[in-house]
A and B are shown apart, each in its own frame.
Chain A
């Protein structure tokens, strides 16, 4: 909220320095986002145009004799056309400093001009919010009055942030009240007399049919004239960011900014029998707003209606039919209180937000209706309107419920001691009523405008604010032992450190993406998910879908570089099951690599990826070996994809990305990826030590010729099974295909390592074991020893 300091000073004594005010507000919980300092303007005074005539040498200029109080009248020429004799206007005297210029004695078409008549623009006010031409003041303003000082135009404007619980502070008086309490100085409220009391005149009636209108204060005013507001009000509104419109609209805005209470004026002539009804809108009821827009209402909306039509969307905006116009002579004032939630829902449903609704939807204190109405009545009366008797409808003002407050909670919750006397003084300054309730408790009644204070915790915050949060002393707590596990996080952490140690670089990408990802998948021959998890209210089409896998973002990342990369991401992926959106944690790692000059039955990159994947799984599970099996799945190469299994369960899938998909994503180099769902990884199993044999091992290297289709792993497993207990390791270390072996065959070089636990194994024993194992393989797979 824009808060002109010059306005705020009406109600409370404040330091001169706006920074000092800003830091007080921050201490109170109202941070100041910006301090807008005003330009230095000097030498501008009010002048009365005593005479005005044509310039002797120029058709388009006029020359005025301007009375300026004590000094001799000034002769000033102007090109403005909105001037007339008798007006009180803004005059910059010789030597005056304006934002863009300094006024000097000068000749205008041969005539000496002793200053300049100036416009709102030269006073650094928004030019299009004020009269076109010279700034006009009220005739009552004494000529010679220093304009900047009188209107406090040099005072900074603070942009104050007000939290949603403090709608009472969304006003000059609300903030002044806080600043007065903070400084222990008096608050000066405008003197409120309810004009019109006892007067006899037109009567009116309000019928409240909805409990969502809690209170409705109203009053009729005759003899209203919607001309321009006085300069002081227009200037204050403008500095507060509110465009001045006319006397009536300005009064309602002024009162709202001053007291927080929004008002509405109805042209009384348009309200049959002066009867207003607060009711739910009828289904399909048409509403033509002030701005001419037409809306169809639902019963969700609360309206203030005449006997014939809806005249106001409660708390939001008025209808065109009964709006005040220059022809309005009699008006009905509304100062009402509504259920905030209802206003809020309606505002959302209709997509309307106004200054009034932003206050109503936070549930204003009902007591403000009186204050707002009284202040408006006063200002209307000042402007020449005749007030008639005010009336209040709805629920009576109930005093706030008292709060029982244990004084020891100050120490228990805030951590510091505070004497009861000090607590009472602080609350007293904020307008709370405090009395003792038993030995250590206080009975506290909040002031009626503080509907946000309903519990002991709320009172504590008031005490903390008044004491100053600086009083809270830093202390390290002794956290008691508990049994809450960190296992999921630790596993994620372990995944990250393991992959970083294996040379992979972590990336973090967006979980939301657009349809272009599906398009790329399709172009790469991959069907997008049938029912992706979709955001109902995306910010843009680029963020409509939740990722179903980590691959697309990684491919997009890899597409941005031409050099080989090693990278990983850990994150949530989202999918739909039985129309139920679900999510799980996944990790994806892999690399791009220049293709190797290898026969088409060998891919060392794949084997490297597999090695990394095994190392990764070993670190997480402490298991030593994993089975592998060929696998086929969309997005991956049909002949270079495998799964790693542990105890028969698939725990990782790895392979080369389908080259068609790689190209669809614009990645230059072949991509090898390994994808793991974190929940599939079995828990870390504490390894158990077995003392190794003291005796040396020996090995035999075998060249076995077998069918090309036979996976190396099957031969290894069979060898190991038939080699007996002395066999400690079987590992294939080379493969050959070509003229040296028959067609349809390949030769695998396998090392069998043997070791006895109780003696050194002899050559003869080793040869015998291996020979037996080979003959078993011959029987099972038709394997022969290569010559």
Chain B
């Protein structure tokens, strides 16, 4: 049989195979069977070697010619199949209201989110965020903060002791001392972290809670700066209209000291029958004030040169207000519905 006849038959069978192919896969197997590395065309090429040398070039180009035709046919068939595919795809109709396939979705705890938001606000204004140990000696919890032994204010910090001199910190303020001992002014830090107090448990109080502390010490730092930063923080957390109010108070480590209130976000300060603020129109956030000169002296800062402010707010307290949560214990119970709703 001569080469031409063989080639023609081969091409005819290939065309037939292409014609019979209804999808891309059978089309591809036809291509591999004929044009693939170990396909029929390759087998045919091997026979060229048996031809007399003079006939070989002609045979070779004849094969190439047919292969080219076959490849053209293949591309045409491919286009035909693709058009079929497009047509089939376009005719599909689904119910777009069918429930979605849920993505793998995690979440940050709502209390931690408030903590991160507070930190992010202060970081934007040039504060560092520092964290510290939850077990702290007396010295950092009290003495260095101008609360000597037997000071009546120690009563407000009813603490859990681990050894006679080591306690679970009742506030994040020990980090004020640690930070100032390590750095010279300017000092600008926020301290988020867990604290413990021997408080009877109810909807507003828990023996474990989180606090966010802020401390700014430098030349020329005054109480207006404290109000400015806290107003900004409240606007970030609760809404752009928030106001902040200071009331005189007493903490041994600040002087003057203030209780900080912000407009009740629920009634927007109108009060009335509001269940969140009890009608006062204000929400208590926590304590603040100008760092007591004795505290500055304890870390070898000259209070005649440097001044500073500090605040310490309960994070759950802020989260309660922000998310209108009824009971502080929910932040530790990890109820699925709670975490899901506030995720």
Whole-angstrom distance between the alpha carbons of A731 and B82 in the complex? 35
Cross-chain contact B222 with A538 (CB below 8 angstroms): no
Interface residues of A in 563-577 (CB under 8 A from B): 566, 568, 571-572, 574
Which A-chain residue is minimally distant from B257 (CB atoms)? Answer: A461
Whole-angstrom distance between the alpha carbons of A500 and B113 in the complex? 12
CB distance from A175 to the nearest CB of B (A): 14
Cross-chain contact A483 with B116 (CB below 8 angstroms): no
CB distance from B92 to the nearest CB of A (A): 30
Query: Which of B111, B168, B248, B292: most chain A Cβ within 10 A?
Result: B248
- Cβ-defined partner of A474 (8 Å) among B189, B207, B227: B227
Cross-chain contact A535 with B168 (CB below 8 angstroms): yes
Per-residue CB proximity of A528-554 to B under 8 Å, as 1/0? 000001111111000100100000000
A682 located at the interface, meaning its Cβ lies under 8 Å from any Cβ of chain B in the complex: no
Which B residues are in CB contact (< 8 Å) with A557? 334
Cross-chain contact A506 with B107 (CB below 8 angstroms): yes
Cross-chain contact B106 with A504 (CB below 8 angstroms): yes
Given known A-B contacts A412-B220, A497-B108, A504-B106, A470 and B248 have beta carbons under 8 A apart: no
Given known A-B contacts A508-B109, A572-B134, A476 and B198 have beta carbons under 8 A apart: no
Interface residues of B in 214-273 (CB under 8 A from A): 216, 218, 220-225, 227-229, 231-232, 244-250, 252, 255-259
B79 located at the interface, meaning its Cβ lies under 8 Å from any Cβ of chain A in the complex: no
CB distance from A300 to the nearest CB of B (A): 12
Task: Determine, out of A65-73, A340-348, A434-442, the stretch whose residues face the partner at the interface.
Answer: A340-348
Per-residue CB proximity of B269-306 to A under 8 Å, as 1/0? 00000000000000000000010110000000001000
Cross-chain contact A507 with B109 (CB below 8 angstroms): yes
Given known A-B contacts A28-B248, A537-B161, A416 and B109 have beta carbons under 8 A apart: no
Cross-chain contact B104 with A470 (CB below 8 angstroms): no
Given known A-B contacts A29-B250, A497-B108, A508-B331, A414 and B223 have beta carbons under 8 A apart: yes
B177 located at the interface, meaning its Cβ lies under 8 Å from any Cβ of chain A in the complex: no
Whole-angstrom distance between the alpha carbons of A512 and B188 in the complex? 32
Interface residues of B in 142-170 (CB under 8 A from A): 149-153, 155-156, 160-164, 166, 168
CB distance from B311 to the nearest CB of A (A): 13
Whole-angstrom distance between the alpha carbons of A331 and B10 in the complex? 135
B12 located at the interface, meaning its Cβ lies under 8 Å from any Cβ of chain A in the complex: no
Cross-chain contact B166 with A581 (CB below 8 angstroms): yes
Task: Determine, out of B14-22, B47-55, B58-66, B179-187, the stretch whose residues face the partner at the interface.
Answer: B179-187
Main secondary structure, interface of B, reads mixed
Which A-chain residue is minimally distant from B128 (CB atoms)? Answer: A484
Whole-angstrom distance between the alpha carbons of A382 and B80 in the complex? 120
Which B residues are in CB contact (< 8 Å) with A482? 126, 128, 183, 186-188
Given known A-B contacts A362-B152, A504-B106, A474 and B231 have beta carbons under 8 A apart: yes
Cross-chain contact A505 with B339 (CB below 8 angstroms): yes
- Cβ-defined partner of B155 (8 Å) among A164, A473, A502: A164
CB distance from B167 to the nearest CB of A (A): 9
Which B residues are in CB contact (< 8 Å) with A489? 119, 129-131, 192
A561 located at the interface, meaning its Cβ lies under 8 Å from any Cβ of chain B in the complex: yes
CB distance from A258 to the nearest CB of B (A): 22
Cross-chain contact A484 with B108 (CB below 8 angstroms): no
Which B-chain residue is minimally distant from A502 (CB atoms)? Answer: B106
Cross-chain contact B225 with A477 (CB below 8 angstroms): yes
Which A residues are in CB contact (< 8 Å) with B139? none
CB distance from A132 to the nearest CB of B (A): 36
Per-residue CB proximity of A470-487 to B under 8 Å, as 1/0? 101111110111111110
CB distance from B143 to the nearest CB of A (A): 14
CB distance from B287 to the nearest CB of A (A): 11
CB distance from A180 to the nearest CB of B (A): 17
CB distance from B42 to the nearest CB of A (A): 15
Which B-chain residue is minimally distant from A589 (CB atoms)? Answer: B106
Whole-angstrom distance between the alpha carbons of A499 and B104 in the complex? 11
What is the number of residues of chain A that contact chain B, defined by CB distance less than 8 Å?
Answer: 84
Whole-angstrom distance between the alpha carbons of A413 and B15 in the complex? 94
CB distance from A417 to the nearest CB of B (A): 12
Given known A-B contacts A455-B293, A535-B160, A581-B163, A361 and B152 have beta carbons under 8 A apart: yes
- Cβ-defined partner of A413 (8 Å) among B155, B198, B200, B222: B222
Cross-chain contact A470 with B245 (CB below 8 angstroms): yes
Cross-chain contact B105 with A503 (CB below 8 angstroms): yes
- Cβ-defined partner of B248 (8 Å) among A27, A483, A508, A581: A27
Which A residues are in CB contact (< 8 Å) with B334? 507-509, 557
Whole-angstrom distance between the alpha carbons of A191 and B115 in the complex? 56
CB distance from B295 to the nearest CB of A (A): 10
Whole-angstrom distance between the alpha carbons of A512 and B196 in the complex? 10
What is the number of residues of chain B that contact chain A, defined by CB distance less than 8 Å?
Answer: 86
Cross-chain contact A537 with B220 (CB below 8 angstroms): no
Whole-angstrom distance between the alpha carbons of A561 and B196 in the complex? 29
Given known A-B contacts A455-B293, A461-B255, A539 and B207 have beta carbons under 8 A apart: yes
Number of A-B contacts (CB under 8 A): 235
Cross-chain contact B247 with A344 (CB below 8 angstroms): no
B36 located at the interface, meaning its Cβ lies under 8 Å from any Cβ of chain A in the complex: no
Whole-angstrom distance between the alpha carbons of A341 and B154 in the complex? 11
Per-residue CB proximity of A448-469 to B under 8 Å, as 1/0? 0000000111101100110001
B84 located at the interface, meaning its Cβ lies under 8 Å from any Cβ of chain A in the complex: no
Cross-chain contact B290 with A344 (CB below 8 angstroms): no
Cross-chain contact A486 with B123 (CB below 8 angstroms): yes
Which B residues are in CB contact (< 8 Å) with A479? 125-127, 186, 188, 216, 218
- Cβ-defined partner of A461 (8 Å) among B133, B229, B248, B259: B248
Cross-chain contact A474 with B255 (CB below 8 angstroms): no
Cross-chain contact A415 with B225 (CB below 8 angstroms): yes
Cross-chain contact A511 with B307 (CB below 8 angstroms): no
Whole-angstrom distance between the alpha carbons of A508 and B183 in the complex? 32
CB distance from A538 to the nearest CB of B (A): 7
Given known A-B contacts A163-B249, A416-B224, A476-B125, A460 and B152 have beta carbons under 8 A apart: no
- Cβ-defined partner of B225 (8 Å) among A163, A465, A476: A476
Given known A-B contacts A474-B228, A574-B135, A481 and B126 have beta carbons under 8 A apart: yes
Cross-chain contact A474 with B332 (CB below 8 angstroms): no
Which A residues are in CB contact (< 8 Å) with B44? none
Cross-chain contact A508 with B227 (CB below 8 angstroms): no
A430 located at the interface, meaning its Cβ lies under 8 Å from any Cβ of chain B in the complex: no
Which B-chain residue is minimally distant from A29 (CB atoms)? Answer: B248
Cross-chain contact A512 with B198 (CB below 8 angstroms): no
Cross-chain contact A480 with B256 (CB below 8 angstroms): no
Whole-angstrom distance between the alpha carbons of A483 and B127 in the complex? 10
CB distance from A50 to the nearest CB of B (A): 50
Cross-chain contact B108 with A496 (CB below 8 angstroms): yes
Cross-chain contact B207 with A475 (CB below 8 angstroms): no
Per-residue CB proximity of B296-336 to A under 8 Å, as 1/0? 00000001000100000000000000000000000110101
Which B residues are in CB contact (< 8 Å) with A574? 135
Which B residues are in CB contact (< 8 Å) with A57? none
Given known A-B contacts A163-B249, A479-B125, A482-B183, A535 and B104 have beta carbons under 8 A apart: no
Cross-chain contact A506 with B106 (CB below 8 angstroms): yes
A109 located at the interface, meaning its Cβ lies under 8 Å from any Cβ of chain B in the complex: no
A101 located at the interface, meaning its Cβ lies under 8 Å from any Cβ of chain B in the complex: no
Cross-chain contact A464 with B183 (CB below 8 angstroms): no
B208 located at the interface, meaning its Cβ lies under 8 Å from any Cβ of chain A in the complex: yes
CB distance from A184 to the nearest CB of B (A): 18
Given known A-B contacts A460-B256, A508-B334, A475 and B227 have beta carbons under 8 A apart: yes
Cross-chain contact B259 with A31 (CB below 8 angstroms): yes
Which B residues are in CB contact (< 8 Å) with A504? 106
Cross-chain contact B224 with A474 (CB below 8 angstroms): yes
A510 located at the interface, meaning its Cβ lies under 8 Å from any Cβ of chain B in the complex: yes
Cross-chain contact A469 with B166 (CB below 8 angstroms): no
Whole-angstrom distance between the alpha carbons of A538 and B158 in the complex? 11
Which B residues are in CB contact (< 8 Å) with A767? none
13 inter-chain pairs at a CB distance below 8 angstroms, sorted by A residue, are: A29-B248, A362-B152, A415-B225, A464-B223, A479-B126, A482-B186, A488-B131, A506-B108, A506-B339, A533-B135, A536-B163, A571-B194, A581-B162
- Closest CB pairs A-B (n = 3): A29-B248, A415-B224, A503-B104
A-B contact sample (7 more), CB < 8 A, given A480-B188, A508-B332, A537-B161: A27-B247, A484-B179, A496-B116, A505-B107, A506-B112, A507-B334, A508-B331
